[in-house]
Chains A and B, each alone.
Chain A
Amino acid sequence: MAGAAVLGRLTWLVAEVVDIVPETPRVKTIAFDVPEWRGHLPGQHVDVRLTAEDGYQAQRSYSIASAPDSTRVELTIERIGDGEVSPYLTDELRAGDQIELRGPVGGYFVWEPSRGGPLLLVAGGSGVVPLMAMVRHRAATGSDVDMRLLFSSRGWDDVIYRDELARLAGDSLAVVHTLTRSQPDGWTGYERRVDAEMLAEVGPSPAAGPHVYVCGPTPFVKTGAEALVGLGHDPQRIRTERFGPTGG
């Protein structure tokens, strides 16, 4: 399927920070240049390894946020307060710093234009990251596949990629937000957790046979996937990825 991009033994690659962009108060995108990068598919991730001066190593897995683009790899990282790795990545890294990563890894939770559509993407919080790679790749390749993103965030200021999603939406890309905890004045959109009624309204219908990708915290994914199956979506076409609290 992905050929050489995902096969073979993994080796740790040097990645140099080239750009850091704040997305929300708790989330930053860090762009790396990885000279030995062999390309990736939207939805794949990387393992990041940090090594302290005393040799202690910590490792975490992060989804790739960017569409395939030469040797540039962007990770969007939510700062977990008591985490071991994310505070370092979001607070301490500066342009020119180097870390180690390996990948791309994963092949189950991926989409590429040749797989076709329609597509229903369901994101909870930073679960939007691998789905954003799909949104971006669709735009970059000029695909006109029917893609719908249902994105659950706590408040308007917590919406990751908010402005870029607004720019990309239109034609055959629908972006629908639900804000579960606070809504700005005049908000007319959804203001509750994702449920079956919402999925039915946003969705392509099960009869259209959409590929469905659900990514978010474990309870979010469980609820969403069960609601989708209840609506009649084929379980074989629902792919899920869970973000656990151990991600820190």
Chain B
Amino acid sequence: MDALMLDGNAVAGLLQEVFAAEMTTAIGTCSGCGATDAVGAVHVFRGAGIVLRCPHCDNALMRIVSGNSRVWIDCRGLRALEVAL
């Protein structure tokens, strides 16, 4: 499974499409362990959807599913997201 892992850089386009801002330099705080990381540095797994995981505790930070011109994002693993304006 590890070999299928990417990082947050791989979802830069998708996140920018949704948030209309450059998001790989945004800083996320993990709700599991409290670690803070740039979105570009978190682990990303692609399957039927996309899961962003904390590189320290493996907590699922975001789950993203898209289709039919819509995108659904579950952010319960993120305590905070700090975005440069």
Taking a contact as CB atoms under 8 Å apart, the answer to whether B3 and A219 are in contact is yes
Taking a contact as CB atoms under 8 Å apart, the answer to whether A108 and B8 are in contact is yes
Query: How many positions in chain A have a CB within 8 Å of any CB in the partner chain?
Result: 30
CA distance A222 to B3 in the complex (A): 10
* Chain B residues within 8 Å of A222, by CB: 2
CA distance A1 to B25 in the complex (A): 10
Question: Given the interface contacts A105-B13, A108-B40, A109-B40, does A8 sit within 8 Å of B4 by beta carbon?
Answer: no
Q: List 11 A-B residue pairs with CB atoms under 8 Å apart, sorted by A's residue number.
A: A7-B20, A9-B16, A46-B13, A103-B13, A107-B22, A109-B24, A218-B6, A240-B7, A242-B6, A242-B9, A244-B6
Bits for A18-44, please: 1 = Cβ < 8 Å to B, else 0: 000000000000000000000000000
Query: How many positions in chain B have a CB within 8 Å of any CB in the partner chain?
Result: 24
CA distance A245 to B46 in the complex (A): 11
CB of A10 closer than 8 Å to a CB of B: yes
* Chain A residues within 8 Å of B6, by CB: 218, 242-244, 246
What secondary structure prevails in chain A residues at the interface with B?
Answer: mixed
CB of B75 closer than 8 Å to a CB of A: no
CB < 8 Å: which of B2, B16, B38, B46 contacts A105? B16
CB of A47 closer than 8 Å to a CB of B: yes
B residues with CB within 8 A of A: 2-10, 12-13, 16-17, 20-22, 24-25, 38-41, 46, 84
CA distance A180 to B36 in the complex (A): 36
Bits for A141-184, please: 1 = Cβ < 8 Å to B, else 0: 00000000000000000000000000000000000000000000
Question: Given the interface contacts A108-B38, A108-B41, A244-B6, does A6 sit within 8 Å of B13 by beta carbon?
Answer: no
CB < 8 Å: which of B9, B17, B20, B46 contacts A108? B9
**Chain B nearest Cβ from A41, distance in angstroms:** 10
Taking a contact as CB atoms under 8 Å apart, the answer to whether A47 and B13 are in contact is yes
CA distance A219 to B3 in the complex (A): 6
**Chain B nearest Cβ from A228, distance in angstroms:** 14
* Chain A residues within 8 Å of B39, by CB: 108
CB of A61 closer than 8 Å to a CB of B: yes
Question: Given the interface contacts A108-B39, A242-B7, does A219 sit within 8 Å of B21 by beta carbon?
Answer: no
**Chain B nearest Cβ from A40, distance in angstroms:** 12
CB of A100 closer than 8 Å to a CB of B: no
* Chain B residues within 8 Å of A242, by CB: 5-7, 9-10
Q: For A1, A47, A106, A240, which residue has the most chain B Cβ atoms within 10 angstroms?
A: A106
**Chain B nearest Cβ from A113, distance in angstroms:** 18
Taking a contact as CB atoms under 8 Å apart, the answer to whether B41 and A240 are in contact is yes
Taking a contact as CB atoms under 8 Å apart, the answer to whether A10 and B5 are in contact is no
* Chain B residues within 8 Å of A9, by CB: 16-17, 20
Taking a contact as CB atoms under 8 Å apart, the answer to whether B24 and A106 are in contact is yes
Taking a contact as CB atoms under 8 Å apart, the answer to whether A108 and B24 are in contact is yes
* Chain B residues within 8 Å of A217, by CB: 3
* Chain B residues within 8 Å of A138, by CB: none
CB < 8 Å: which of B2, B17, B41, B84 contacts A10? B17
Taking a contact as CB atoms under 8 Å apart, the answer to whether A106 and B4 are in contact is no
* Chain A residues within 8 Å of B17, by CB: 9-10
